[in-house]
Structure 1
Amino acid sequence: MGTEKTPARVVGGWMWRHPRTMGTTAVLTPTGVMVGYQTMLWAAGIAVLMGVSWRLLDAPTFDRFAGRLLRAWWRRWVIYQRQWMRVVASCGLVTSDHRGDQLVPKLVGVRSNWVWDSLHIRMAKGQEPEDYGQALDRLANSFKAHAASMRILKPGKIALDFQRREPFNEMAIPLPAMPESIDAVDLRKLEIGRDEFGRPFHLDLLKRDIHVLLAGETGAGKGSWLWGIQRALAPLIRAGHVRLWVIDPKGGMEFGGGREMFHDFAESDREGLELMRRYVAELEKRKFDLGRQGIRDTTPSRETPLDVLICDELAAMTAYSDRDIRVEFHQLLSKGLTQYRAVGGRIIGATQEPTKDVVPMRGLFPTKIALRVDAASYVDMCLGEGMRDLGAFADKIPAYLAGVAYAKTDGRKEPRRVRAAFSTDDDIAELVAFCTELGNVTPIRPEVKLPDGTVTNPYQVDFEDFEDDEFEEIEQFEGEDDGDEEIA
């Protein structure tokens, strides 16, 4: 009786709850006795100077390896722990037991990155996660956070995430300059925008980011990413080293302005299936041709171009079209995602709902980008299991920040917060004019009608398929000025 709070128990409990502080003290004390405290002060000063220099010269790397740990320690004890009791009491999160003793939720740890703080909380007896969900706005205002969310870590333990800053509010994302020549394009470093540290963000369409999945609700900025990729490829498109196969099921409203520079274009689900058949047939032929020659990999050129398939609104092809279209398109798309990397096949898909029903083959995309999504569950569906726990709060991106996204690439555990540069209508017109000015891109033309019927391929006419007498008929047909369409 009466021994619960003896001095020995209080000191022992404090030492048990702070192992890092006690461990540091246990190491520094004998070291100071052995080498002298003056030497230790000099070493500490040099370490601080090196840390400041590292922070000034390479802030992103410093924050990744050291800054986030120092910031988490500082913010835990100076910002959160100091006022924890007062805040939780004012938000109604303090309970009491049958004896009238107050039960306070315990702050057991803080994790911090450039934008978010994550507070790990052990709830008090008698509480449930919904109690904190109802108090989220009050907690965010108390800690002066832009936004807050709550996650369940395990029974009795939750995480409260507070957004401290919004770097893209003040950061201008300039549209990358369009490369002027083939030599200026590096397929391993296609600049699309900037990350939250202000560094250029690149995609690697040569080795790493061979297929890209974009997920984001209406107005999230998917078009900025898709047009940005095309802009980065402009000289290769103009030279014929890259061919664009574009499916725009919305009647061409998004990409119709660029049809002149596309190798192939579809503006409905039925046309999209036909385009997918032609895309797979082309790469199947190249696969067998190169396989017979013993060639295992290709370099983009006019003979073996990089064939980039862009499908806007994947759901229109995989979920909301007729069953015969869905089944065949799913089969062809899965084949394209698994078999054509070495022969120059690349697929970029965009969707509003990254669910398994809409994108059943989402695991085949090595690079995934989550823009603003409608539900927290969509984050893990797009980026992978556990990505939201690592800080990918795509469901918390404000509506006014179009183009902001979390990117998950192979070989990197943490998602990156990035923003693509916005392309205006004038920028798109400039891109199309640049890519088609030399005439190396076969533009999309309407059907060409010949005297003996309609040409089956409306995109080009191969006159080697005609006999000599058919050439005479064509020349006679071209000479007539009766309003018929001219032969391309």
Structure 2
Amino acid sequence: MRGLMIAKQRRGLRRVEVERAPRLGLLRPTPTGFRVTVRLHDGQTPDDYERVLDKLAHAWRVHSVRLVGWRPGKVTLVATMTDPLETVAGGHSLADGLLRVRVGRLDSGEWFVIDFRKVPHWLNVGATQSGKSNLANALIAGLAPQPVALVGFDLKGGVEFTPYQRRLSALATERAECARLLADLVGIITSRMALCRQHRVKNIWHPRLPEEARPTPIVVLVDEVAELFLMADPKAEKEEVAAVATRLLRIAQLGRAFGIYLVVCGQRVGSDLGPGVTALRAQLTGRICHMVNDDETAKMCLGDMDSRAVAAARQISADRPGTAVVLGADSRWHMERSVHVTEEEAEAAAEEHAELAPSWALLTGGPAIEVADAEELEQAVDEFAAPDLEDLPV
């Protein structure tokens, strides 16, 4: 009897072969190539196609093939005929709406847009001459004409952000100054918490918050983040480094709801800098990895998201400055190349829109704001959850 049941089961099962040619749907043209939907055979998954994209590109005689979406039983592939990152033109304006900047092109041919309302905090790493500073220039040029406050942390003694100082509301060039500025930012968060409680809303973008009461968004640009954590004399500097790390982490954890956004840049970012860096990395959802000189930095930037992105980042050539692997709102990695924005162009934008920079005294609200203690901020994490995208203005 048992043998009969097993025989019936065997007849009911179909043979599954994963390595089978794809069943292609209609080819639909795109500006840079074509899009096609592939029906999966029994036993196949999207990962099976992720692993053979390079083989498909060679077989189809195209520059690259990317998997851009899937649903049960189907995957969508996009083929690019030529390299869209060979030359990247910026156009007339990089600004693309409030807190949105078109900083480059993706390998799909679409714009790479940094949208702080969708992805509030970014980690941007890259070696010297890799294009890391150029992307910061593009951000400054794109944010300068917008009604936002810009704050700079320049641990190279001010040489990176001083040319744009007239558009900055505050600039810190030493770690002690950064600690004080971070304390002010935590104080701003505290005051904005009170504003949101007063109007019974969870974030400053909520429609119930009157427009005249809505505070100015603040974008914080941090250059050479490693300098915030390095200690030449641990005994003398340990307390200052701990204060900087704690405040920066609090801003990353709470800033989104209250309109404070981070762009953290560095040539090298590794776990050897201490647990504060690893904890901060976890709060920086957006990742941009240019050419780097070591595996650790690429892994720190991309490794917790996608190991294939790490491999792609390590293959970036030095003769393609501005090229990077990015992870953004769709949680998929892409190759990107930034628009070339010179220091002179970014400085001109900062000078032209210098009158839009609110004073630091205005942002901090006049009288000195006390830094909230750890218990108060921990309670605020629970009270003010990350805002829903539906709350954001169109």
TM-score computed with the length of structure 2 as normaliser? 0.69
> Residue 382 in 1 paired to residue 298 in 2?
no
- CA 1:287–1:217: 2 relative to 1, 3 Å: same
Deviation string 1:32-89 (CA, Å, 9 cap, x unpaired) is xxxxxxxxxxxx9xx6xx42xx13557364499999878735847x99xxxxxxxxxx
Say whether residues 1:167 and 2:77 are aligned partners.
no
The residue aligned with 2:389 is none
Residues 309 and 348, structure 1, Cα contact 8 Å, conserved in 2: yes
Instruction: In structure 1, give the amino acid aligned to 2:191.
Output: K
Q: Does 1:114 align with 2:25?
A: no
Distance 1:271 1:71, change over 3 A: closer
Query: Which whole-Å CA distance do the structure 2 matches of 1:74 and 1:232 have between them?
Result: 35
Query: How far has the Cα of 1:370 moved from its partner?
Result: 0.8
- For residues 85-100 of structure 1, the aligned pairs below 5 Å read none
For residue 212 of structure 1, report the CA deviation from its aligned partner.
0.4
1:219 matches 2:129: yes
User: 2:119 is matched with which residue: 206, 209, 212?
Assistant: 209
Q: Does 1:408 align with 2:327?
A: yes
Indicate conservation of the 8 Å contact 2:204/2:214, yes or no.
no
What is the SS of the residue equivalent to 2:113? strand
Correspondence for 1:231 = 141
SS at match of 1:230: helix
Taking structure 1 as reference, are residues 19 and 362 closer, same or farther at Cα in structure 2, changes over 3 Å only? Answer: closer
Match of 1:192 in 2: 103
In structure 1, the partner of 2:318 is 399
**Superimposed CA distance per residue, residues 18-42 of structure 1 (whole angstroms, 9 cap, x where no aligned partner):** 9626x98xxxxxxxxxxxxxxxxxx
Partner of 1:355: 270
Amino acid at match of 1:242: V
1:325 alignment partner in structure 2: 240
Distance 2:252 2:158 in 1: 24
Give the alignment partner of residue 345 of structure 1, picking from 232, 237, 260: 260
- For structure 2, list consecutive stretches of 5 or more residues without a partner in the other structure: 1-14, 41-48, 67-80, 206-210, 368-394
Pick closer, same or farther for the CA change 1:415–1:185 going to 2, 3 Å. Answer: closer
Opposite residue 349 of structure 2, the aligned amino acid is L
* Counterpart-to-counterpart distance in 2, 1:331 and 1:210: 19
Report deviation, 1:317. Answer: 0.6
CA contact (8 A) 1:354 1:381 kept: yes
Q: Name the structure 2 match of 1:72.
A: 55
Partner amino acid for 2:115? Answer: D
| Of 179, 194, 200, the match for 1:273 | 179
Secondary structure of 1:397 counterpart: coil
Match of 1:133 in 2: none
Q: Is the 8 A contact 2:217 2:260 kept in 1?
A: yes
Partner residue of 1:258? 164
Report the CA distance shift for 1:187/1:113 in structure 2 as closer, same or farther (over 3 A): farther
What do residues 90-112 of structure 1 show as CA deviations (whole Å, max 9, x unaligned)? xxxxxxxxxxxxxxxxxxxxxx9
Tell whether the 8 Å contact from 2:298 to 2:310 is kept in structure 1 after alignment: no
1:245-275 CA-partner distances (Å, limit 9, x unpaired): 1100111111110111101111112211111
Matched, 1:59 2:11: no
SS in 2 for 1:258: helix
2:224 aligned to 302, 305, 313, which one? 313
Match in the other structure for 2:201: 295
RMSD (Å) for aligned C-alpha atoms: 3.9
Cα displacement string for residues 334-379 of structure 1 (whole angstroms, at most 9, x for unaligned residues): 1001112111011110112221233222111111111111123432
Which residue of structure 2 lines up, in the alignment, with residue 136 of structure 1? none
The SS at the match of 1:393 is: helix
Aligned match of 1:366? 285
1:276-323 superposed Cα distances (whole Å, 9 cap, x missing partner): 111111222111222232122224878501111111000011234632
Alignment TM-score, normalising by the size of structure 1: 0.57
How many matched pairs?
317
Distance in 2 of aligned mates of 1:220 and 1:229: 16
Tell me the distance in 1 between the aligned counterparts of 2:342 and 2:198: 45
In structure 1, the residue corresponding to 2:308 is in which secondary structure?
coil
- Whole-angstrom distance in 2 between the partners of 1:434 and 1:64: 50
Aligned to 1:162: none
Counterpart mapping for 1:127-142 below 5 A: none
**3-state SS of 1:396 partner:** coil
CA drift at 1:216? 1.1
Residues 243 and 305, structure 1, Cα contact 8 Å, conserved in 2: yes
Tell me the secondary structure at the aligned position of residue 228 of structure 1.
Answer: helix
In 2, Cα distance between the equivalents of 1:20 and 1:245?
55
Distance in 1 (alpha carbons) for counterparts of 2:212 and 2:114: 20
> Are 1:228 and 1:421, in contact at CA under 8 Å, matched by a contact in 2?
yes
Matching residue of 1:423: 341
Aligned residues of 2:224 and 2:266 also touching (Cα < 8 A): yes
What residue ranges of structure 1 are gaps of 5+ in the alignment? Answer: 1-14, 25-43, 80-111, 117-164, 445-456, 464-488
Q: 1 or 2 for the larger relative contact order (CA 8 Å, sep ≥6)? A: 2
Report what 1:29 is aligned to: none
Q: Which amino acid aligns with 1:420?
A: S
Distance 1:63 1:272 in 2: 51
